[in-house]
Structure 1
Amino acid sequence: MGIEYTSVIDHPIDEVFAWHARPGAMQRLIPPWQPMRALTETESLADGRAVLGLPGGLRWIARHDPAGYDPPHQFVDVLSSDGVMTLPPRVIGWWRHTHRFSDAGAGTTRVQDEVDTTVPGAALRATFVYRHRQLADDLAAHRDAARAGAGQLNVAITGSSGLVGSALTALLTTGGHRVIRLVRHEPVRPDERRWEPSSPAPDLFDGIDVVIHLAGETIAGRFTDAHRSAIRESRIEPTRRLAELAAASRGLRAFVSASAVGIYGYDRGDAMLCEDSARGDGFLADVVADWEAATEPAARAGVRTVCVRTGVVQAARGGTLRLMRPLFSAGLGGRLGSGEQWLSWIGLDDLLDIYYRAAYDDKLSGPVNAVAPNPVRNNAYTKALAATLHRPAVLPVPSIGPRLLLGKQGARELAEADQRVLPTTLYGLGHRFRQPLIEDALAHQLGHHQLGR
């Protein structure tokens, strides 16, 4: 029983080992299709412990064994118990995970995971394919930042508890950067600061190099008057207030704000859209245009300002993929309407890399299309998702379905949007995408890699 999984990572052993010891590593390694999350990370690979949350309030405790600690070559964690809610996971029997690292020559590292457990290796393989790929890709992102002269950044993030914000925080901290979470409640942790959207404190950005502004009411939902108002009010004025504060702050290197491809309108057909394409029509186009305009106080003051125009994020833990997965897993998925409309998408980890680059790369400013280089039509997307889940996709979804959920306007501007957006600015910089094809992004998020090692 158990598994051994090995790969060679194109980074020196000291860097590989140090990555595992930093905050965020556990979160970056938990596969998104698994029903667990990191509650507390270990403070020491030598003798600390990490606590993972499971469904129903259950807990998995990974205790690090001092006898197996040999930096930078090895550390060991074992399944442990502490209270009633940690007992059920022990029904698997035992779990001892040995993490081994060895110099593979030419600045590379052999990473070997050896798990002694009652769980069959076949059930664990997808997890370790995912973990090794995350490790290699994250280290590559950190190397790009180092080569660009990023140094150690102090980054303030709004919306740090959301899907993108929590993952971005983990990515940055594994690179040795310091993240300050701007929260609306009283701070309860050393890395939190109170942020009042309507009146941010004058010293909110003290000691901060980069601000990444992600907060905003979710766009998904029925487009009622109340929902449309919440979308606007959570974006325009809070962004303007932060941009004005950024303009008055000393030492700030960049102000990076979320934006969306919705600025191009919902019905653009086969037109290939780049950052200098004309804005389109519709409620979302109006909102995004005003949202981006709200960042202008920072730009006018000479602060490098980036608006990250995000496409449809592919993430197993959130967004449309989370909603569609159960339907497609049951064999009930299919194209939406004609299936000919273009979908401009982005894998979650590629989106994180774009925000990361926006934080340190002086060559990025203004609007940046955060989309994969290969947009697909809706029928191609649904076929790819069904194939990833090994299910058919033969039942077209009638237009009435999205309209019942989102209303007529929401269905037209979200579910039925037709936008062929290209990452033209990133192309010009030779940006590397982790998953440029939709099949790769879905396989990575859903644990269906077909890699052999």
Structure 2
Amino acid sequence: MGIECSSVVAVPRSEVFAWYSRPGAFARLAPPWQPVTPVAEADSLRDGQAVLGLPGGLRWIARHDPAGYDPPHRFVDALVTDGPASLPAGLLLRWRHTHDFDIIDDAHTRVVDRVDSWIPAFALRPMFDYRYRQLIDDLTAHGRAAGHGFAPSTIAVTGASGLIGSALTAFLTTGGHTVLRLVRHQPDSADERQWHPDDPAPGLLDGVDAVVHLAGASIAGRFTAAHKRDITESRIGPTRRLAECAARAGVGTFVCASAIGFYGYDRGDEVLDETSTRGDGFLADVVSDWEAATGAAAESGVRVVRVRTGIVQSPRGGTLKLLRPLFTTGLGGRIGDGSQWLSWIGIDDLVDVYHRALWDVDLVGPVNAVAPQPVRNAEYTKTLAAVLNRPALLPVPEFGPGLLLGAQGSRELAEASQRVAPMRLLRAGHTFRRPELEATLRHLLGRTG
């Protein structure tokens, strides 16, 4: 048994092979709907070893075969055992994966995947369809940036291990950029630097071309005094001090996470763009102060971009991770009457927004990172249920979110209604990978067939 799949990429073979050989490719190609987690990447396609985490603490270990290494034409990996956690997969399954890269012409490459395995082809095909979409979209994005003069750069990232940070750093490194992860613990590798949010070291950003600041406590939870303090203190002070550090270091670009919470929790049907005024509520106050904390960098001449992010769609985190099991079992439903506006964005489109913020020198100030087609909660519910082929018959009563989040948390999170438009991106001619909700969910959940 086995499978053979292929796709044509409008990129020269040497560049496609180089993409696969760089750190981050393993993570970028891992389907997010599968119950596996990339643990370690191979340090070489010739003889390295990649590790996937499986449920129950088990491991899938893929070792590259030196005999099959023929750059830029081919590399091969096979399932092996290495320690007790890898024994169940290694002994029960067979897996040998040959990656071929064939020249069509100077500008086009055929990527061919041949797998010898007991796993049936129908179970593998959605994975390879996803991998090809990711490969093509990522290479297209990197090519667009290079066409605008964005050369390989050194980019410091806070929050690199989070949902957004892990996707962004993998994307950047496959594009040939050097990522320095700013971490609070003692560095474990050469690509980490220790960052003390309350007192950054004077040389923290030495040699850095750009900063992407993503760190901050999760806003999910009851809005108790302690939780609100954590939300505020993890953002305002650390951002101000990091911006001051960027100013002193002469960093060219400072991209800071922000949120559409700036516009308040309910503005009715008003279309909100980057020129809209601040709204009401705790989150609006926090976001306003958060954005203001970047002032030291902007005043020193650093180009500052504030990415006001909507509801991120990914099975690995956020609302979709919470809703997917409910909808899969037929227990999902709208919240209240479902009339609330939901301004969403797929994780890969969000990565592209951060990428554009790094290379588009005309982007300055707030940028709404949302898809161009917001939906109401009832439409989101209907679409997710249809993608999962399940009914959505159990609406959540209006008092339900309040039991978990409290009155204020429910009002500003679960019941929030924000109709936000990405006008800065649209006017810049930005291309969204998947501007429609259904296409995004199908891609992320492996339901495109």
| TM-score over 0.5 for the pair | yes
C-alpha displacement of 1:106? 5.5
Superposition pairs for residues 20-419 of structure 1, below 5 Å?
Answer: 20-105=20-105, 107-250=107-250, 252-419=251-418
User: Counterpart amino acid of 1:115?
Assistant: V
Letter paired with 1:324: L
State the shift of 1:33 in Å.
1.0
In the TM superposition, residue 256 of structure 1 has moved relative to its aligned partner by: 0.6
- For structure 1, the residue ranges without an aligned partner over 5 or more in a row are none
CA distance in structure 2 between the partners assigned to 1:114 and 1:70 by the alignment: 15
Which position in structure 1 is the counterpart of 2:9? 9
Query: Is the contact made by 1:312 and 1:345 (CA closer than 8 Å) also made in structure 2?
Result: yes
Amino acid of the structure 2 residue aligned with 1:331: G
Cα drift, residue 28 of structure 1:
0.6
For 2:106 and 2:344, locate their aligned partners in 1 and report how far apart those are by CA, in whole Å: 36
TM-score (norm 2): 0.99
8 Å Cα contact 1:152-1:178 kept in structure 2: yes
For structure 2, which runs of at least 5 residues remain unmatched after alignment? none
| 1:399-418 residue CA offsets vs partner (Å, 9 max, x unmatched) | 12111111111111111111
Structure 2: which amino acid aligns with 1:126?
A: P
Aligned-pair identity (%): 64
**What is the CA-CA distance between 1:439 and the residue it aligns to?**
0.5
Q: What is the alpha-carbon distance in structure 2 between the residues aligned to residue 232 and residue 238 of structure 1?
A: 10
Task: Tell me which moved more, 383-392 or 87-96.
Answer: 87-96
Residue identity in the other structure for 1:135: L
Aligned counterpart, 1:426 = 425
Query: What stretches of structure 1 move > 4 A for 4+ residues in a row?
Result: none
**Cα displacement (A) at 1:245:** 1.2
Amino acid at match of 1:384: T
Residue pair 2:156, 2:211 contacting (<8 A) in 1 also: yes
Q: What is the aligned length?
A: 449
Q: How far 1:92 sits from its partner (Å)?
A: 3.9
Taking structure 1 as the reference length, the TM-score comes to 0.98
1:227-278 deviation line (CA, Å, top 9, x unaligned): 111100000111011111111113x110110000000011111111100011
- Do 1:92 and 1:118's aligned partners in 2 also have CA atoms closer than 8 Å? no
SS state of the match for residue 76, structure 1? strand
Residues 342, 374 of structure 2: 8 Å contact kept? yes
Compute the RMSD of aligned alpha carbons.
0.9
Is the CA contact 1:329–1:389 (under 8 Å) kept in the aligned structure 2?
yes
Find the residue that maps to 1:87 and give its secondary structure: helix
- Between the aligned partners of 1:318 and 1:278, the Cα distance in structure 2 is 30
Conserved in 1, the CA contact under 8 Å of 2:262 and 2:279?
yes
Pairwise CA distance, 1:12: 1.2
**C-alpha contact 1:145 1:357 (8 A) present in aligned 2:** yes
Contact 2:265 2:279 in 1 (8 A): yes
Match of 1:448 in 2: 447
Structure 2 CA distance, aligned partners of 1:325 and 1:38? 21
Matches of 1:68 and 1:246, distance apart in 2: 46
TM-fit CA distance, 1:91: 4.5
